Amino acid sequence: MFVVVVRNNFKPEAMDASFVLASYLASQGIASSFIDSSDLFASEVELPLLPAADEMTLAVVLGGDGTILRTARLIGDRAIPILGINFGNLGFLANKGENGVVDLVSRALIGELVRDERANLEVSVVCEGDVDDDLDGCMSRRLFALNEAAITRGSLGRTISYSLDVSGVSMAEVSGDGVIVATSTGSTAYSLAAGGPIVHPGYRGMIIQPLAPHTLTARAILTDANDVACIDLGSNREGRAATLFLDGDAIAFDAALQRVYVRRGTCPTVLLYAEKDHFYRYAASTFFGAEADRSRYL
């Protein structure tokens, strides 16, 4: 049994909780390692920060949604359950920690918490000069996102042009600020701010949301779980560089983006919760201004 703890080292309360948790895990004879969230700000993190997948039991995140997203990227397709305990601001992906971190972690270790499998994204990037014979054989970087991949206008602030293809079908030629391809988890993040729908986490498809398109015909698309979205920037004019953001972090490349392929990841991200209706409770309080009244449905 091995527990990895990622703590938001900018939050004194999270640091204090990590010391309490370290003492508890040691008292139970459970091996553990602690990672500061500041170590995860790089666009890519070296995997040796984590032990082998078969050695890990649990990843505990002491922080907010941003720390959870970066932990999910670090874990990738390892299928290690993530227990988020909110020490951030919104904390939509995390549990409340009013009963203390030991209570939640001990319940997670004995299997008392609810497993919530979330679809994530596999993002394949083809840059200028790369070979792109097909999606599986192209010379590209394969990247991970739990919330969304966003292709947006670059530092000069000029609009970009792109074509959108879904599973081989040409859907649109668009000029605007860019496009977001989000999971259901990401529906309550950037996609929502851009006018997209709130989608239950059980949905396995993608949400394709154009950003400020210069047309009245571009609309959000909800895809099938097995679809592949392709954003082709071949028509983008010189000097109008596009930037790729994964879960809010800018990803640097040595050459200009040409195509970005996005599809559902093969292994879901597992989040642990103390309540079965975590999503609806948080959606009610966060986006509709009140706690959900469950008594009306009993």
Beta-sheet strand order (sheet of 257-264): 141-145, 121-127, 257-264, 228-232, 160-166, 169-176
DSSP states along 219-282? --EEPPTT-EEEEE-TTPPTT--EEEEETTEEE--SS-EEEEEEEE-SSPEEEEESSTTHHHHH
Percentage of residues of the chain with pLDDT beyond 70: 89
Mean pLDDT to the nearest integer, 97-115: 94
User: What pTM does this model have?
Assistant: 0.89
What pLDDT, on a 0 to 100 scale, did the predictor assign at position 189? Answer: 94
Mean pLDDT to the nearest integer, 64-86: 93
Catalytic residue among 65, 116, 177, 247: 65
**Sign of CA pseudo-dihedral 263, 245, 202, 67:** positive
Mean pLDDT to the nearest integer, 251-274: 94
Q: Which of 228, 147, 158 is closest to 192 using CA atoms?
A: 147
Residue 65 among the catalytic residues: yes
What pLDDT, on a 0 to 100 scale, did the predictor assign at position 136? Answer: 52
Q: Which of 7, 17, 21, 13 is closest to 105 using CA atoms?
A: 21
